[in-house]
Chain A
Amino acid sequence: MDPQAAKMIGAGLAAIGMIGSGIGVGNIWASLIATVGRNPAAKANVELYGWIGFAVTEAIALFALVVALILLFV
């Protein structure tokens, strides 16, 4: 196989890792909305954890993206 083509396929495969992170981030916001819907008074307490959880989960997607970019450009 042409090495250039293999590189592109590898980058595409690496980007699949973002699926899990997408599900995770969706889960965090879904739980947050459900929590605030049930108990609006808790908004101030849980919002912070929502953002932290979002950033930590999103990092997984970025790791996959970094692998893809390394394959493409390095």
Chain B
Amino acid sequence: MANPVEQFRIEPLVPLEVGGVNLSFTNSALVMVLSICLVTVFLTMSVRGRALVPGRWQSVAEVLYEFVANMIRDNVGAKGRKYFPFIFTLFMFVLFGNMLGMIPYVFTYTSHIIVTFGLAIVVFIGVTIIGFMTHGLHYLRMFFPHGAPLATAIILVPIELISYCSRPFSLAIRLFANMTVGHIILKVMAGFVVALGVFGIVPMAFLGGVTVLEFGIALLQAYVFTILSCIYLHDAIHMH
């Protein structure tokens, strides 16, 4: 049986090295470019008609738009409107990465921690800058809960600081681990189907169920990634 983690191997398609830095165009980069192109083509083509009564494609685009717009309105508030393009891009990038990864033999770029960590650290640094821009040095009050006795500051401030700084890690690891583990489970189950011969029908049926679950997880994790970014943004704009 093939190694279940073999599917996550990054292979250079166009080898390129500049000044000792490996800048090869890899299979991971290929799927990223593909997903960006798909999102762009899908969204431009579907709303081209600008029909008052939307057709099938246009209503899918409108549902996605309203989904993210409602998420920002409910979780960030009116001041979050100007961050809509970023949040929407983030959602579509993660969603298409997860969904394209479910197609057999297509690389899942969200199953690599460096990709998800890259996204998470952008959110973290951006949110911290927004927080300091909105509140100035008053933003540091974030690390000390309102109403707590001053004597507890010596314990509370380090705890709050650690919890604040661990945000990008938990955001990145959640998405990466969900995608990696899901694909490993599918691969291991597929190995059972081959190994059991006729009785392979049992893991085969299980595999069908797990695949449906994985589609759900792919959607849910894109949603969770975006909504946690929204909640962090809310913290930065409104402070608790």
A52, A55, A59, A69: the one contacting B173 at CB < 8 Å is A59
- Name B's interface SS: helix
B170, B177, B220: the one contacting A51 at CB < 8 Å is B220
**Chain A residues numbered 38-74 whose CB sits less than 8 Å from any CB in chain B:** 51-52, 55-56, 58-59, 62-63, 65-66, 69, 73
Q: Is the CB of B170 within 8 A of A59?
A: yes
B177, B184, B220, B227: the one contacting A59 at CB < 8 Å is B177
Q: Is the CB of B181 within 8 A of A52?
A: no
Number of interface residues of B (CB under 8 A): 15
CB 8 Å contact bits of A18-42 with B (1 = contact, 0 = none): 0000000000000000000000000
**Chain B residues numbered 192-240 whose CB sits less than 8 Å from any CB in chain A:** 220-221, 223-224, 227-228
Residues of A within 8 A of B177 (CB): 59, 62-63, 65-66
Residues of A within 8 A of B220 (CB): 51, 55
Q: Is the CB of B5 within 8 A of A73?
A: yes
Contacts A58-B178, A62-B177, A65-B177 known; 19 new A-B pairs at CB < 8 A:
A51-B220, A51-B224, A52-B224, A52-B227, A55-B220, A55-B221, A55-B224, A56-B174, A58-B174, A59-B170, A59-B174, A62-B173, A62-B174, A62-B178, A62-B181, A66-B173, A69-B180, A69-B184, A73-B5
Residues of A within 8 A of B (CB): 51-52, 55-56, 58-59, 62-63, 65-66, 69, 73
Q: Which 7 A-B pairs have the closest CB atoms?
A: A62-B177, A55-B224, A59-B174, A66-B177, A73-B5, A65-B181, A59-B170
